[in-house]
Amino acid sequence: MNFKNKKRREFIKKSLLIAGAGVITPGLSLANNNNYQIQSDAVVGHGDYKYKVDKNWAIQDPSRIPVNDCHEMVLDNMGRIFMTTTGVHNNNIIIYDRSGKVLDSWGKNFPGAHGLTIGNAAEEQFLFITDPETHKVFKTTLNGDILMTINTPKEFGGYTSDDLFKPTETAIGPNGDIYVADGYGENFIIQYTEKGEYIRHFGGKGNGTAEFDCCHGITLDNRNPENPTMLITSRAKQEFKRFTLDGEYIETIPLPGCSICRPVLHGDNLFFAVIVTKSWGAYDGMLAILDKSNRVISFPGGCEPKYQNGKLEEPIYDERTFLNPHDVLVDNDENLYVPQWYSGKTFPVKLHRV
């Protein structure tokens, strides 16, 4: 059983034991991929953020390019799209061009390949890959050469065994510092120098204002370049939390009904995948687009966003566009690319901006 299936089953068991404690009601049976139907050229989204669905963008021969759970995507300086997918085959990283053609694939050391972050060093780019299954974070070249490995942190007493470290995401600070989100583990954010030297940790699992319940995603928010911050998911609580670069809590941004993967910034807007709204045991999910004031302005794959007395109403899945979307990539033409997690091993979907 792979790591995500374990997490899904653990979640369902826990939710059944804690009746009424959570906002998500998991299904007792898993959906069948044969029920997945999306209209060709269907238009989704709201207001100025509408998109045409391209379900055939990345369809491949699964005997040559197999995928299991597809997790995250990034764009390099050459316009190539890198994606993480799980499994023991030699394509934990798949590289596409913007037409959906596979250019290359590599990686068999990351069977639980999850978070994917791209950064720059001098004139070269590099990747950070988080793998909660092997309990490691890897820094690699764009060709797959491993440059650095971050293991279970030993610098503080948060980890009594290596397997408690289950990192899900990384972010890179303005000075090159590395922030690791241990979203499936102990829910700490661990800050390192660019050489991998421990600086500090903050967060941890709990219900306090500066704690998390699944710090699944993290990104540097530099929309205010004079005061950059870290924006971090608390997925089970359906909210973002904002911290200083030194780990001081600033604010909480509630998004009821949205189990958030990772924050993705493009211009003044914040994008993210809502992996589920109601059920972890059936196909679900949509995308969300927020303006600079953290107000949802479009739900591609869901209902029109509505607010009641300043509070977001829980969105409703359209039951046809996505199968548990896990991330969203925005290209320079504002098209969206969406890898999907529990989706019957489907390939990513492209949304063309209209």
Determine the pLDDT at residue 40. 61
- DSSP H stretches of helix in 36-143: none
Q: Tell me, what CATH number does 66's domain have?
A: 2.120.10.30
pTM here is: 0.90
Determine the pLDDT at residue 297. 98
Mean per-residue pLDDT, 63-76: 95
Tokens of 277: 């709204």
CA torsion angle 329 301 92 264 (round to 10): 30
State how many domains the chain has: 1
Residue 276 sits in which domain range?
Answer: 3-353
**Per-residue pLDDT for 198 more than 50?**
yes
Coil vs helix vs strand at 15: helix
- What digits encode the pLDDT tens for the residues 22-54? 333 233 223 344 445 555 689 999 999 999 999
Determine the pLDDT at residue 1. 46
- What digits encode the pLDDT tens for the residues 93-130? 999 999 999 999 999 999 999 999 999 987 799 999 99
Backbone angles phi, psi at 332, to 5 degrees: -70, -15
pLDDT band of residue 88 (cuts 50, 70, 90) is confident
For 69-208, list the strands marked E by DSSP.
Answer: 70-75, 81-85, 93-96, 102-106, 116-121, 124-131, 136-141, 146-150, 169-172, 178-181, 188-192, 198-203
